[in-house]
């Protein structure tokens, strides 16, 4: 296996707890009470959906521009100063890099938010490029984004390319498309049991990765 596509949040970076609490943090920082919120729409982004719930339940008129500016600054700061890598992830990337594996990051997170973390954690040297859903125009429930990354890395087919993901829906997309799929445990993923069923490997720590199977 000479090609690898990595998700970032929850796969390389231990950042999903931060993402899951962004809404609560916004409310707390602004002195607003907690509210009941669950995603209602498959069409809107979570930011639009969350802000709609805030305005309706609290009788406010917060603009999307205001919320998105706050959200962007908060998340970027977390990446720039606080978000750590998952245990043994750096050593794992270093080993793959030493073996000549060509790698990229494929993420739902905006480039501008993520880049400070990649720079601070000294990760850019490992990757050929980063691909972002908002720029590509497709989310990871569509295999075309994985196929695009595969081709850009230089691979000729999914079977010779590994995809590392912590989210079931994304890993399932990659598995169905024929990629060698590696599931990474994250505490925020509710379908970890299903991940074990669909992935070629499922690991709770990169030190447990089976290179013998990977290099067949």
Q: Which residues of 15-32 are buried (b: 16+ CB within 10 A; e: fewer)?
A: bbebbeebbeebbeeeee
**Rg of the chain in Å (alpha carbons):** 18
* pLDDT of 43 strictly over 50: no
CB 14 within 8 A of CB 83: yes
CB of 87 closer than 8 Å to CB of 184: no
Domain boundaries, the chain: 3-14+84-214, 17-81
Residue 42 has pLDDT above 50, yes or no: no
pLDDT at 173 over 60: yes
Q: Quick one: the chain helix, strand, coil %, rounded to 5? A: 50, 15, 35
- Other C-beta atoms closer than 10 Å to the C-beta of 119 total 12
Instruction: For residue 202, give the H/E element and its range.
Output: strand 201-203
Give the pLDDT confidence of 56-85 residue by residue, as tens digits.
Answer: 999 999 999 999 999 899 999 999 999 999
CATH T-level assignment (fold) for domain 3-14+84-214? Rossmann fold (3.40.50)
Confidence of residue 40 (pLDDT cuts 50, 70, 90): very low
């Amino acid at each position: 296996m000479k090609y690898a596509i990595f998700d970032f949040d929850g796969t390389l970076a231990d950042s999903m707890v931060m993402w899951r609490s962004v809404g609560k943090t916004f409310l707390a920082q602004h002195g607003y009470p907690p509210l009941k919120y669950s995603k209602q729409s498959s069409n809107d982004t979570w930011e639009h959906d969350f802000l709609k719930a805030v305005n309706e339940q609290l009788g406010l008129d917060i603009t999307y521009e205001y919320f998105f500016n706050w959200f962007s600054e908060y998340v970027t700061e977390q990446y720039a100063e606080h978000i750590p890598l998952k245990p043994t992830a750096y050593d794992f990337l270093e080993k793959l890099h030493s073996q000549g594996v060509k790698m990229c990051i494929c993420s739902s997170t905006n480039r501008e938010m993520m880049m400070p973390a990649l720079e601070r954690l000294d990760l850019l040297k490992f990757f050929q490029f980063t691909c972002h859903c908002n720029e590509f125009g497709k989310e990871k429930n569509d295999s075309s984004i994985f196929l695009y990354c595969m081709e850009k890395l230089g691979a000729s087919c999914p079977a010779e390319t590994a995809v590392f993901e912590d989210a079931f829906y994304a890993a399932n997309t990659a598995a169905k498309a024929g990629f060698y799929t590696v599931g990474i445990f994250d505490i925020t993923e509710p379908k970890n049991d299903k991940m074990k069923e669909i992935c070629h490997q499922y690991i709770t720590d990169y030190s447990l990765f089976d290179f013998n199977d990977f290099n067949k």
